[in-house]
Chains A and B, each alone.
Chain A
Amino acid sequence: MSDVTSAAREIHEQFSEHLDVDVEDVSQRLERLVTEYKVPLSEARRSVENHYLDEAGLDRDDLGQGSNTDAVVEDIDAPDQWVNLTAKVVDLWEPRSDAVAQVGLLGDETGTIKFTAWAKSDLDPLEEGAVYRLENVVTDEYQGRYSVKLNRTTSITELDEDIEVGDNESEIEGALVDIQSGSGLIKRCPEEGCTRVLQNGRCSEHGEVDGEFDLRIKGVLDDGREVQEVIFDREATEDLTGIELEAAKTMAKDALDTTVVADEMRETVLGRYYRVTGPTMGRYLLANDVEEITGTADPDGVLIKARSM
């Protein structure tokens, strides 16, 4: 089968639900572009697809691609891929926009991923805790974080099974070499659903507000090969530094200055070695578990190698 023929078949399959068109017709259009007009096949394919999209009154997003693959969450590492997932609805969140019907978290054995279902796609709603076979979902990426979008062509089948959802956590070790600004005792916006950190008492969304105190550290773990930025939430920060929120507030009150808290934290943790586990979100690892590495390092392996060089 020639490239043109197989491309024609795939295009035909994509449109078979939407248009009454035969493979011959598709093939002729492709052939004309490729042979007569020397258009590269990929470009020709695009052009022919656009023609049928117009004819059917569809958006490109509405279209499934013939070559869907079954994927697990862990595998999703590129945007604009059409995949099939078997996953459990771990969490449903309140959509922030009317354009979104549902937004939440899907999970399988390998990890979790955000999903969005558009209101215009008119899909049956997913239920929290249920497991579904989802065919024809599109992957997306925002600031290094992947998600999947359900669309008009997505088929949803509820399965009568349960999935033990895995965590896509990683474990890293290194010296804590920096605590960045915005760490220590901070204030967050108290508005419903907004947890933005205030800058000089102002929220970038809600303006001047009476903030709520919280603790966090934006730190950098460095093992001499690579760096990883880590966010420690309040619990992890308390774990790491031994400074609890109430104590931090008292320190700040006594000093009439909130920055003393971060200063104290720097003295306590900078330059020490830690093992941190947690999921990665974009450029940050979110510390779920933090442990100072206190065991004695074993020099023997390196020593033997170095002596034999």
Chain B
Amino acid sequence: MSGSQAPTREVARRVFAREFNAATFTFKESEDERAPLYALLPTGERANRVFVVGTLTETEDIGDESEYWRGRVVDPTGTFFVYAGQYQPDAASTLRDLETPTYVAVVGKPRTYETDDGAVNVSIRPESITQVDETTRDRWVVETAERTLERLEAFDEEANEYGQRAQQEYEDGVESYREALVEALESLDETDGESTAADAASPSAE
């Protein structure tokens, strides 16, 4: 893939917050300055782009001179941090305008930065943020569980380059991501009953 073909658009990976925030190792596939940057997902996949859907719980302008917005997007396993400044004007204005809490879909690039005490934080630099409904969010949870499961199933395969790499770079194994996806799906089952009841009470919900 790398360099041998005309550039193709990168797939937006589906990943839960718990795993995403642990994807602290980043790399490029070539020496080229403009080569895409990938985060190595602990379940063994490279991610240059992600698609996440969750609850936007808080937004805050943490910029000094110009606006720099931070949003917290929560999924059943943890919190994604989304940062948008002057180079992401659309996403920044969306964060400025949205009332929390609300469901949002975020397409963006994984970014890492090292804090003063040496910890590596992983965040999303958004390409777009849009308000969505609960159905979309639930669909994303199931889809993300499916993709995560696929990665887990392929994790130990010898031919799985990124699985091998994840085993070298991350020490904690993948069990906690399997647990996370089970928890995420179970949380759907719980809310399922409620939302069905709510739908029945207000058939004109759409």
Q: What residues of B have a CB within 8 angstroms of the CB of A222 in the complex? A: 11-12, 51
Q: What residues of A have a CB within 8 angstroms of the CB of B153 in the complex? A: 309
CB neighbors of B among A262-276 (8 A) = 263, 266-267, 270-273
- Docked Cα-Cα span, A225 to B51, in Å, equals 12
- Docked Cα-Cα span, A309 to B149, in Å, equals 9
- Docked Cα-Cα span, A138 to B177, in Å, equals 53
B160 lies within 8 A of chain A by Cβ: no
| A interface bracket (residues with beta carbon within 8 Å of B) | 20 to 34
CB neighbors of A among B79-135 (8 A) = 90, 104-107, 127-132, 135
Q: A177 and B145: CB pair below 8 A?
A: no
Q: What residues of A have a CB within 8 angstroms of the CB of B186 in the complex? A: 303
B165 lies within 8 A of chain A by Cβ: no
Closest to A307 in B: B182
Contact with A along B171-203 (1 / 0, CB 8 A): 000000010011001101100100000000000
CB neighbors of A among B26-60 (8 A) = 49, 51, 53
Contact with B along A239-271 (1 / 0, CB 8 A): 000000000000000000000000100110011
Q: B9 and A271: CB pair below 8 A?
A: no
Q: Determine, out of B17-25, B64-72, B136-144, the stretch whose residues face the partner at the interface.
A: B136-144
Q: A224 and B9: CB pair below 8 A?
A: no
Q: A224 and B104: CB pair below 8 A?
A: no
Q: What residues of A have a CB within 8 angstroms of the CB of B138 in the complex? A: 296-297
A306 lies within 8 A of chain B by Cβ: yes
Q: Which of A220, A263, A267, A302 contacts B149 (CB 8 A)?
A: A302
- Docked Cα-Cα span, A108 to B84, in Å, equals 52
Q: How far is the CB of B148 from chain A (nearest CB, A)?
A: 8
Q: How far is the CB of A119 from chain B (nearest CB, A)?
A: 34
Q: Which of B8, B129, B136, B181 contacts A273 (CB 8 A)?
A: B136
B interface, over-half SS: helix
Say whether, besides A293-B139, A296-B135, A271 and B11 are in contact (CB < 8 Å). no
Say whether, besides A266-B130, A307-B182, A175 and B105 are in contact (CB < 8 Å). yes
Q: B147 and A224: CB pair below 8 A?
A: yes
- Docked Cα-Cα span, A263 to B93, in Å, equals 12
Q: What residues of B have a CB within 8 angstroms of the CB of A309 in the complex? A: 149, 152-153, 178
Q: Which of A178, A294, A296, A302 contacts B107 (CB 8 A)?
A: A178
- Docked Cα-Cα span, A45 to B51, in Å, equals 54
Q: What residues of A have a CB within 8 angstroms of the CB of B143 in the complex? A: 223-224, 297
Q: A294 and B135: CB pair below 8 A?
A: yes
Q: How far is the CB of A160 from chain B (nearest CB, A)?
A: 47
A226 lies within 8 A of chain B by Cβ: yes
Q: A299 and B189: CB pair below 8 A?
A: yes
Q: Which residues of A contact B (CB under 8 A)?
A: 175, 177-178, 220, 222-227, 229, 263, 266-267, 270-273, 293-299, 302-303, 305-307, 309
- Taking A297-B142, A299-B145 as known contacts, 5 extra A-B pairs with beta carbons closer than 8 A to each other, sorted by chain A number, are A222-B51, A224-B11, A224-B143, A271-B105, A298-B142
